[in-house]
Structure 1
């Protein structure tokens, strides 16, 4: 596929009132609606009006965020949309493969082939204590477990051949039992007999998404993922990451088109740059700077309590990546950002409050379209994971003013290509391995 044939892919990251940590305090935000399914249905319909590929919901198992369980919410969103993909974050550390395979197969059937799985191993925190464990597993162990977990889930999806359902009323037979298989998986971490108790998903497999940027994360993405969500701060870093991950694909028998790389992008948009800067400053004024500095102290292992907001952020004595058992890639990104840009505390707080380490932008829709085009044509991204700072206003302006400009430049679709998420991402439906094996033996 030539660079001129490529089309941008855009995912919407749904997150309560928005991705800025102070969004809930902004006059445009509606924090009282964050447990209202109609709020999310309206956001999903706006995203679909903008022809976005998909939307996704993050998840964790501790803390006090008002976070609706992903499968429940996405099933409700499936009922009011027709084409947009529905991606749920599900952790491989605190789940069982059979449950996850069944949940995603169900969502794929309910939505008519629009499900996607954002595969994460867990960032740590207090999740372990809610599952009767005394510690969060080490990074390498989590990724080893994740590889096996995904393999079990794929085998369970394949435990039904595509034509196993026959509905022969005359013969009184609904299922061809010879086309439903026990998998008898036994690995280092899991033992599963199977088969799954729901037929193979319409997409074969829901789209597999991965969000880690550490070495282990990049390798898992190259082996398994079809979309990768990543955080990159500059076009040069993004180009290096893009080239690195794409170069790992051939050893797994894969081509560059089989993995879409979508960096996170959180844009503050207005009709003029001055208006956008006013919104940015307003959000900073609503941010709890003291709490932000305390979090930064904890993340880097340095006491910053005595520093002023205008002081440069020091990194001497900061925790090294080898000490981190959670999001290693994100920790290194933070260290690199401080080293490269030498920001003041105010500048760093503004940046992190806006998107937790993802790319931020403040300006007009036209200026944002220029950035998106430069990254896309420069092979720094196949598209973006868009993270509006405030819902619904940030999404509305993106759909109403950025999408049309990208369409005018020939970079973005003018209609959906297919009814499935795989179809709109240009991904093939995976063949059923068990079906191929059975046919070869016959």
Structure 2
């Protein structure tokens, strides 16, 4: 226990070195937070361009300022692609993607490749924390054997924990410091080390009994959102068929001070969590002979929403004597949520592909995404269109997919010939607005 006490003391007096592995939307804010908390921080990433930009004091994520990168660098933050330096930090925190494969099964390749790269360089006295969202059992079944194969005793020489990431880009109410951190360890000593690690940088740490409990906690959080979004998306379809404005209904229901939480419909779900994480649990549950019908149904509804929106676009154009084929359509917002530059799993991109397949000429406007990004499964050689009265009027239809605050909605309504609104921006009945 002497080793544990020394490690906890180093976290408490800020003499520990923190290693963040994966400098994306989760890892980079965490690295900056530890730097501001007074720690020397080493950020690891396989992307040499990211490493270069960070060491030059530049940011590649919109809501993270160049100023914050430079201030962190002055406090001792540095980025590197040299994973052989993994022995230097007292804590290694893994923040890498966990996507699905083509069969909607968990793809742990990023976690496993990272672990296989780090473990040969680990030393006695380190904490290894996994933050990537995954199914219950990953930390113990995949990381623990790799560490033990090096001859380390978990809970005595090396401390292994799981602490799920909780980032909400674009939400000014919460940041890395203020969002409570759940933490579970493989052993009680591991948990103590993990709690000490995170208590030094965040305001509140919530210990749980095991890494499996921590892993399931993250899945429950995101499945809760997925299921409720699926519910309200289905309600939208029903309300539309009945000629009822679903947004009016939601606003009225939200006046109830108890027993109701407002969720809002959309063209689908996006980001690195909601479209993916539920399927991690459904996959794992099958190993226990369980079929997660409720969770999978919500996923099916959410995944089908882009097709429903395209049908609304088709109907709207038909009513105005136009077909989708040959029409010029402008999609507003390609980021997956409001006021961010993250396009991962964005339903807007799916809408663009479906409409292009039907023969439409597609453009987009998004002040947060000036150039359509390189994506593994999607390709558009496009740049964001600047919204002017002339450009808006040149399109047969404007499809409002992501409701960024920067859009001039009054100008859009006045100048667009036809609008399909998937976000309930226009609450009043307007002649050129179709709610979807």
TM-score (norm 2): 0.28
TM-score (norm 1): 0.27
Work out which of the two has the higher radius of gyration on C-alpha atoms and give 1 or 2: 2
Q: Which has the higher contact order (CA 8 A, sep 6+)?
A: 1
